Structure 1
Amino acid sequence: MKQLNAINTISRLVKKDPAVRAIFVKGSVARGEMDIYSDVDFYCLVKNDKLEEFLNRRLHYLKQYRPLLYWSEVNFVGPQIVAVFDNGLHFDFYTVTVSNSPKTDQIKIIHDPEGLLNNYKAEKLSITEEDFIRYFNSFSFTMLEFVSAYKRNDLIWASRLGSHLCGDLAVILRYIYDRNNSKLGFKRLYKNLDKNLYKKLHKAMDFLGPSYLPKGVIMLTEILKDTIEKIPNEVIRKINIKFFEYMYDRIIKLKQEDKKKISIQNSKG
């Protein structure tokens, strides 16, 4: 696979750099979930006093693999180059030190002569109970915004709010069905849902376009309504269920109001 070819080629060059202490990869490659569409999360752990020098050499190493179609610099967990090669491979080149090396997710060690990563223990990708409550309450509040946008006929914005609802729902479902990876949200969520629930979510997302509203949002809301019974009681007590139920009723009424409008229009026609 091109991912492994890129990792091998770039690692072979980078590990000779005097600033580099260790090399590892994360993401789907490290978890053993890589397929032909996967990107690469490539990490170089470098010496503090040689960090700035190394940053100036990153592009050189990347270009030794293949020509770059695109690249940009960001600072997410550390200085990072987001690169796309001429074969379409997305390659994220991270530079970290011992003090700021991330502990989330699994790693696959490529080069570690000092044994710096021997005691690496991945933190779970789970959200906290407080985060879960925040996502749930955020869903309810976004429902309020959706109703306002839909009723004023701002359907493009209403559709975007539907996407926000979907994002919150994905994390909520992930927390319930795959808690250890709840931060991943949508990513590979289909593997953790039963077929019926997956079909419902898939169909709801199909109807989030402006021309289909409010159908998609009603379906998302019904999915969450049906999911509440699976939330532990100690968490339910901390969620603003009263607000959710109020907004649920308002969302359902949109369907009834639309039916009345259609009926009136047909009678006039």
Structure 2
Amino acid sequence: MKQDEAVKSISQSLIDDPMVQAIFLKGSMGRGENDEYSDVDLYCLVDENDEKEFLANRLRHLEAYRNILFSDDIFIIAPQIIVVYDNLLHVDFFTVTPKSFKEKDFFQVIYDPKGLLTPFQLTQNLLLSPNEFDVHVTDVAWFLFQYNKAYKRGNALWAVDMLHQVMTHLSKVLLHRYKPERAQLGLKALESLLPSTQLDEVRKIFTYITPDTHELSVQSIISLLQKEIEWIESTLEEGSQAGSFMKTMMNELECIS
């Protein structure tokens, strides 16, 4: 596949760079779950003292594969270049140091002559921490709160967007219960990981997230939360406000028809 060709070409260029200490893949390729439509999440490990100089040379390495149609230099979890090639392959190229390495998700080692990635391999996981779970429960309640305001204003388009935000966070809450070892994958993994009963409910919710039927979607969300709220509250950390916030919004929205 073109993903493998890209990884091979770019990696060879990176290996020839003395500043590069290790190369690895994350995302679907790192987990061995990629298909012909997958993008490439390619990571490069460099020493902190070399980072600034290396960042200036990233496009040269990426161009080793083929012509670049589009690129964008951003920072989310690390310095990152988004690249789309002229064959429409999408590569996200991240640069990390031992200090900035994020110990989440599984990865596949491409190049690591000094074994610098070995300690990080022992910490690979897709679990939610207790704090992360609390944040996602809070965000479900928060976006229901924002939906309620949009609904009362009669702003259907904004209401729909708020419900999409609800489902982004609720997907991780549900996976934390039904497939905790994969919970970080969230919405993109629900189709394959969620039990059929809960998946049918989620599909129903999405069917009604439209400007004309969003009230029906909210009814289905509240119905699903009513089945899960006891477990959610029992799983939250002691002292968390997320459960009470969620129950308040459930009660507030229960009357929507």
| TM-score, reference length from structure 1 | 0.85
Aligned to 1:266: none
- Alpha-carbon offset, residue 239 of structure 1: 5.8
Gaps of 5+ in 1: 256-269
Is the 1:159–1:209 contact (alpha carbons within 8 Å) kept by the matching residues of 2? yes
2:103–2:123 contact (8 Å) kept in structure 1: yes
Greater mean deviation of Cα atoms: 184-193 or 225-234: 225-234
Q: Helix, strand or coil for the counterpart of 1:228?
A: helix
* Residue matched to 1:153: 154
Q: Please report how far the alpha carbon of residue 215 of structure 1 lies from its aligned counterpart in structure 2 after TM superposition.
A: 0.7
Question: 1:112 and 1:149 mapped to 2: Cα distance?
Answer: 51
Q: What do the CA deviations read for 1:169-225 (whole angstroms, capped 9, x no partner)?
A: 112101111223323221212222122221221121121111112111111121111
Counterpart AA for 1:222: S
Q: Tell me if structure 2 keeps the 8 A contact 1:46–1:97.
A: yes
Please say if 1:39 is aligned against 2:39. Answer: yes
How far apart are residue 73 of structure 1 and its match?
0.6
Instruction: Report what 2:254 is aligned to.
Output: 252
Partner secondary structure for residue 71 of structure 1: strand
Cα distance in 1 for partners of 2:105, 2:92 equals 16
Q: Percent identity?
A: 32
The change in CA–CA distance for 1:103 and 1:245 in structure 2 (over 3 A counts) is closer
The residue identity in structure 1 corresponding to 2:250 is Y
Deviation at 1:37?
Answer: 1.2
SS in 1 for 2:227: helix
Cα distance change of structure 1 residues 77 and 153 upon mapping to structure 2, 3 Å threshold? closer
Residue 133 in 1 paired to residue 137 in 2?
no
Alignment partner of 1:170 is 2:159:
no
Find the residue that maps to 2:24 and give its secondary structure: strand
Task: Write out per-residue CA displacement over residues 18-42 of structure 1, whole angstroms, 9 at most, x where no aligned residue.
Answer: 2112111111112110111111111
Alignment coverage as a number of residue pairs? 255
Equivalent residue for 1:258? none
CA distance in structure 1 between the aligned counterparts of 2:113 and 2:237, rounded to whole angstroms: 49
What letter matches 1:27 in structure 2?
Answer: G
Provide the rounded CA distance (Å) in 1 between the counterparts of 2:51 and 2:201: 49
Residue identity in the other structure for 1:40: V
Partner letter of residue 181 of structure 1? R
**Pairing 1:48–2:21 present:** no
